[in-house]
Every structure is written in C-alpha cells, then in structure tokens.
Amino acid sequence: MEIPVIRNVLEANSKIAGSLRTLFAHHGILALNLISSPGAGKTSLLERTLSALKSEFRMAVIEGDLQTDNDARRVAATGAQAVQINTEGGCHLDAAMIRSALAHFHLAELDILFIENVGNLVCPVEFDCGEDDKIALLSVTEGDDKPEKYPLLFNLASVLMLNKVDLLPYVDFDLARATHFATRLNRSLAVFEVSCRTGQGLNAWYDWLRARCAAKRAQ
C-alpha cells in the first residue's frame, strides 16, 4: 500500500519541478542544487563563489536547514540575496518549498540561483527541485568510498567538488579512489579538487560556472 503513496508524492513533486524548470528557462536563470553530507563545505563554497563572482553575475541562494538561519546569514553577508527554508526535521527540500521561496526574489534580476539542500546524501537526491544541475560535494574528512555507497547522487550530478584538499596530509582519503568510483558511475562528471578555506582549485569551478551560464543564455 505504501508504494503508490510514495510514487504519488514523487510524481506531484516532479510536476512542480517541471514548472520551475520552465520558469527558470524563461528568465535565463541557471539553477544549481548543492547536495552533500553535513559539514562538507556547501556554505563555504557559496561564500567563496558569491564573493568572487559578484561583479559578473546576479546571484541568490535558497538555504535549506532543519533549524536556524545561520547559513543564510553567512551568504547574505557577501551581498547576495538569501532566503532560509527551515524544514523542522525534514531531510530534504522539495519543489513546492522552492516555489514558495521564489516569491522573495525578482527573477528578472537573477543569473544564478543556488539551492543549498539539507545535509544528506539520500533524500535530497530523490526530490527534483527544478534545477539545471546537481552539484555534489564530498570532503576529504569523509570516506573515499562515498560515491560507491551513495551512487545515485554521483550518477545524477554534473559536478563533484572534492573539498578540503588542504587536509589531505592529515586524513586517510584516496582522491584517486573517490574519483574512480564517481566517474565510473558518471563519465561526464566534472571533478574539481578544491579547498574552500584556502581557495585552492576554485578557479576551475568558477570557469565551469561561467561556461554553464553562457550555455544557459544561449538556449
């Protein structure tokens, strides 16, 4: 009896996500859904990106967390627009939540919308939020077998950010192993080795964003 209910929930979400995708396309907005375990560095990546590219793009962030507006305050300090969604225990954002949050933005004045999902490698992957691309973050303080254990995210993502590489001398993490698992699942996956603390490797990510925005505008 539960299977039809789950299917209906996902189908309803997909319909809303489809309408969001049409809306984003109409305004030429690149929508990116950032997904990772808690503490992998999504907010730090956003702080760096928003600060580095604010003269090039008009950007906004939808922040998803169980409680608090701490992360929204951090990204708003860069000058970007930010809206906080507190799920009150929910393990993911969904398309209806994103649709409600959009009321706080002037879509005609946006180039990139970042969705920072709730820290979780399972539920956020299953719920389409109308994004153009999923961005997976994996920090070297986690296991290098995460792509093998949680394959759906890495199969669907466009980008894998291997973060905190400045800590590699102090942790047991094999970059080649993690990359092998991920790219075996998804041969088109772009992989960037970065440190959001030091800025190492982030220029390649910024170039990817520039190219992706140009492609979005050309559609």
Mean pLDDT of the chain: 95
Q: Does residue 148 carry a pLDDT above 60?
A: yes
Contact predicate 146/122, CB 8 Å:
no
**HEC per residue, 145-189:** CHHHHCHHHHHHCCEEEEECHHHHHHCCCCHHHHHHHHHHHCCCC
Query: How many other CB atoms are there within 10 angstroms of residue 115's CB atom?
Result: 25
What's the mean pLDDT in 205-219? 95
Using a 10 angstrom Cβ sphere, with 0-12 exposed, 13-18 middle and 19 or more buried, the burial of residue 175 is: middle
pLDDT at 4: 57
Q: How confident is the model at residue 10 (pLDDT cuts 50, 70, 90)?
A: confident
Confidence band of 135 (pLDDT split at 50, 70, 90):
very high
Assign 25 to helix, strand or coil: helix
Total structural domains within the chain: 1
pLDDT band at 6 (very low <50, low <70, confident <90, very high): low
**Cα–Cα distance for residue pair 60/163, rounded to 1 Å:** 22
Q: Which two tokens stand for residue 37?
A: 């375990």
pLDDT at 91: 93
User: Alpha-carbon distance 181 to 149, whole Å?
Assistant: 10
Q: What is the CATH number of the domain that holds 191?
A: 3.40.50.300
Mean pLDDT throughout 161-171? 98
Q: What angle do CA 137, 143, 144 make, to 5 degrees?
A: 75
The sign of the torsion formed by the CA atoms of 51, 54, 57, 59 equals: positive
Q: What percent of the chain has pLDDT over 70?
A: 97
Q: Among 105, 104, 131, which Cα is nearest to 117's?
A: 131
* Parent domain of 54: 2-218
Q: What are the pLDDT digits (tens) for 97-116? A: 999 999 999 999 999 999 99
